[in-house]
Amino acid sequence: MPDSLSPHLSELYEQVADNFDINTTILTDEVALGKIVEICHNIRNRGVIRFLMSCLVAKIDNPAFDVRKPYTNISGGDAFSGRHYDEHPVQELITKYNLPTNPTTAYLTPAFRNQNATMTPDLNLVGRPPHLYQHALDLLDLVYRKVTEPEQMLKEIFRQLIIFRDTNERRINELIAVLKTTKGAQPLSSEQTVILIRQHLDCPNSSRLPTLILAAAYEAVGRMIGEIAKPLNSHNAADSQTGAFGDVEITLTNDENIVTCYEMKDKKVTKNDITVALSKFSKIGNSLDNYVFITTDIIDPLVQEYARELYNEVGVEFVVLDCIGFLRHFLHFFHRSRVEFLNAYQVLVLTEPNSSVGQPLKEAFLALRAAAEVG
């Protein structure tokens, strides 16, 4: 069972990339091809493709494996650890060739976690959209019945991922080119910038954006005020996994100790949220000055009062702030750094994995900014 990418897998990818033709498919089975296209081009679920790749890579590595048995507790002696293949050779493929999939293993998603059944077409995998999971089962069945060779299917997956990746990059570059035509125009005012960010927050699936707003603010003025934001953790990673004390953690430029923690909420902050934060703060040490909740929902005055009273008890100031209100005050206070903020926010949005800031959300920001600046 390989722990690293085999030369053969790299060769398969490079055969596709070196001879790439958008109009020439590798699979001739149009039904199977259509299912691969749907899996590879779905913008909301990028985990199914990793699951499918892990099974195919395992089968290529050891033809004795049953491609439908990616769980070692399945009987028969021909099962394998799909998660191992996913986290090692498949992850290396994704990293080496910048393939647009989930950044983390598919085997921690609900549909693929703790399974012990053979992945046959009649198995009911609960996930959304359901037809993607059914497509994956059907494709594995084709390989099992030797209708399709695993190498050919994997190469078609590579081809579709190249198309998906390059199309997304081209769309982003086209939108950036539109922005460049407005260079030299009067910068957006602070209030215009607030409106732009609010419009972006109103887009679907925008829960990661408040964290990026905070990070962009410190990127713009951090060195000026002697404070920097630590690197952001993954949007989907729990604090207990990463060891983080908040979504954005601030230190002084000459000190590694955390002085301010920000926690972002897309719902109302509750007293229990503050209680949980108190348990975290006790592990940070005496360097912490502020623990700030920033919410996109309304603020409960009773919760705000509860937070305010904690200062006398623990010597750390807890506060709940409105996201747009925070942004407005920041932009007016650092009015001369508003362009730096907007540019930093754009970079953060565009470099986030699609699993946390999807392609439509990236395109939406660029389109909204172009419209604001042209207007």
| pLDDT value, residue 320 | 97
Give yes or no: residues 272 and 334 share one domain.
Answer: yes
What are 149-207's pLDDT values in tens digits? 999 999 999 999 999 999 999 999 999 998 887 666 789 999 999 999 999 999 999 99
* Nearest 10 degrees: Cα torsion 303, 304, 310, 316: 130
Query: Of 136, 168, 200, which residue sits at a domain end?
Result: 168
Give yes or no: residues 30 and 135 share one domain.
Answer: yes
| pLDDT value, residue 256 | 87
Give yes or no: residues 40 and 138 share one domain.
Answer: yes
Query: Of 128, 145, 168, which residue sits at a domain end?
Result: 168
Give yes or no: residues 150 and 251 share one domain.
Answer: no
Residue of 98, 110, 99, 65 whose CA lies nearest to 84: 65
Query: Of 168, 201, 233, which residue sits at a domain end?
Result: 168
Give yes or no: residues 86 and 48 share one domain.
Answer: yes
pTM as predicted: 0.84
Answer whether 219's CB lies under 8 Å from 344's CB.
Answer: yes
Instruction: Provide the residue range defining the domain that includes 45.
Output: 7-168
Report the CATH number at residue 369.
Answer: 3.40.91
* 2 belongs to a structural domain: no
Give yes or no: residues 223 and 359 share one domain.
Answer: yes
> Is the model's pLDDT at 284 over the cut of 80?
no
Assign 238 a pLDDT band (cuts: 50, 70, 90).
very low
| pLDDT value, residue 184 | 66
Answer whether 319's CB lies under 8 Å from 293's CB.
Answer: yes
Give yes or no: residues 239 and 351 share one domain.
Answer: yes
Specify the 3-state DSSP secondary structure of 227: strand
Give yes or no: residues 118 and 211 share one domain.
Answer: no
* 173 belongs to a structural domain: no
Answer whether 246's CB lies under 8 Å from 262's CB.
Answer: yes
d(CA 357, CA 75): 40
Q: Length of the chain, please? A: 375
What are 128-157's pLDDT values in tens digits? 999 999 999 999 999 999 999 999 999 999
Give yes or no: residues 114 and 227 share one domain.
Answer: no
| pLDDT value, residue 354 | 86
Give yes or no: residues 33 and 105 share one domain.
Answer: yes
* 339 belongs to a structural domain: yes
Total number of domains in the chain: 2
Q: What percentage of the chain has pLDDT greater than the value 90?
A: 79
d(CA 233, CA 247): 7
Give yes or no: residues 80 and 112 share one domain.
Answer: yes
| pLDDT value, residue 3 | 75
| Summary mean pLDDT of the chain | 92
